[in-house]
Amino acid sequence: MKDRDEIKEAGRIVVKVGTSTLNHAGGRLNIHRIECLVRQLSDLSNQNREIVLVTSGAVGAGLSRMKMGEKPDSIPEKQALAAIGQGILMHIYEKLFGEYGQTVAQVLLTKENSVRYSQYINSRNALLALLQMQVIPIINENDVVAVDELKIGDNDTLSATVASLVDADVLVLLTDTDGLYTDNPQVCPDAKLIDEISEITPEIENAAGGAGTKLGTGGMFTKVQAAKIAVNSGVTMVIANGSRKNVLTDIFAGENIGTIFPAHETHLKQRKSWLAFGKRIAGSIVVDRGCEEALIKHGSSILAAGITDFEGLFIEGSTVRVLSADAREIARGIINYDTKSLRKIIGHNTKDFASLLNGKVYDEVIHRDNMVLMV
């Protein structure tokens, strides 16, 4: 298969390992599995590939050290456990990677590092400098200080954002299932593993279902959302079972393992990647068929006349999703009007704006230079 063969040539790789892969069922760290993971990553690095590891497990490591049976509900307790566990986790990684002659660096990120373009670029430059020094960055969300509005949300999304940030060739999400199935294999014995997904349709999103294990924060649905980020950033993504023996070695030998999401041909430039996946989404607008066609076929800007509806509360300069009439996300962009102003001009021609609005008037609701197609 062409896409599997191309994986063999991947030079820059991001691997995300989830809590369910790192921990035993009772919540304690699975040291044997971590060691197997480190050995495979070290061997890939020895093949002159650049490696970035996005790891979960800090809260689980804290739970284990504090001899607690399950994750607490309160944010301060979760943050305290993350603070305890992050050091434990990094100590284990540093010791094991060191045994294979690898140097690692801890990198903690929050949503704030991607929302502001200057911080986005600083994060990118720091990661690229580490890779140039042949260091393996080990990345986690900074759960100790992140509050909900600053959280990326889950390490699936974090890993896809990082893959976009560093222009990775391949992103591998290691989880506790063999990939994405046609239905939930835990309750549906007829569910079949999907080998390749070239387009993420509403049917695919429905098949992904909801949340996963009680220790993790995301299920298969968050992995499909991560795939949207990855493939639209020119990154091929693979979902595979982290408990499978030599899973990474076999994936990068081109074997048919897990579910593959081939990268889209169009590779977003730095600012476009940030615009699409770094900035916080404040709402959405719905456009008619004519506007949709103009966007996709001609790269047009969005005018008020083509907007039929919107939702959310946003200000000028917010990032919004652009939805088709059948609720497909077709673009993301920076909007020139706040909610109150948009409500006044929706469906109107540009020549009417002067009589409808006070203050500065823009011809476009979203200019094409500030928009990224998602189809």
Query: Is residue 222 annotated as involved in ligand binding?
Result: yes
HSE, CB side, 13 Å, CA atoms: give it for residue 348: 17
Distance from C-alpha of 356 to C-alpha of 241, rounded to nearest angstrom: 57
Query: Is residue 217 annotated as involved in ligand binding?
Result: yes
- Chain-centre distance for alpha carbon 124: 15
C-alpha triplet 329, 330, 332: angle, nearest 5°: 85
Q: Does residue 214 sit in helix, strand or coil?
A: coil
Per-residue CA distances from 26 to 30, 67, 70, 198, 321 (Å): 10, 10, 8, 37, 40
> What is the 8-class DSSP label of residue 116?
S
Query: Is residue 336 annotated as involved in ligand binding?
Result: no
Query: Is residue 5 annotated as involved in ligand binding?
Result: no
Owner of token pair 């649905």: 221
Q: How many other CB atoms are there within 10 angstroms of residue 203's CB atom?
A: 10
Tokens representing residue 217 in the block? 């924060």
For 23-74, the DSSP string reads: B-TTSSB-HHHHHHHHHHHHHHHHTT-EEEEEE--HHHHHHHHTT-SS--SS
Distance from C-alpha of 215 to C-alpha of 19, rounded to nearest angstrom: 7
Query: Is residue 220 annotated as involved in ligand binding?
Result: yes
Query: Is residue 284 annotated as involved in ligand binding?
Result: no
Mode of pairing for the β-strands spanning 50-55 and 104-109? unpaired
Tokens representing residue 282 in the block? 């404040």
Query: Is residue 176 annotated as involved in ligand binding?
Result: yes
Distance from C-alpha of 372 to C-alpha of 288, rounded to nearest angstrom: 18
Distance from C-alpha of 262 to C-alpha of 234, rounded to nearest angstrom: 9
Query: Is residue 175 annotated as involved in ligand binding?
Result: yes
> What is the 8-class DSSP label of residue 263?
P
Query: Is residue 309 annotated as involved in ligand binding?
Result: no
Owner of token pair 């995301």: 218
Distance from C-alpha of 53 to C-alpha of 234, rounded to nearest angstrom: 19
Nearest to 302, CA basis, from 361, 351, 345, 363: 363
Residue numbering of the annotated binding site for ATP:
16, 175-176, 217-223
Residue numbering of the annotated binding site:
16, 56, 143, 155, 175-176, 217-223
Residue numbering of the annotated binding site for substrate:
56, 143, 155
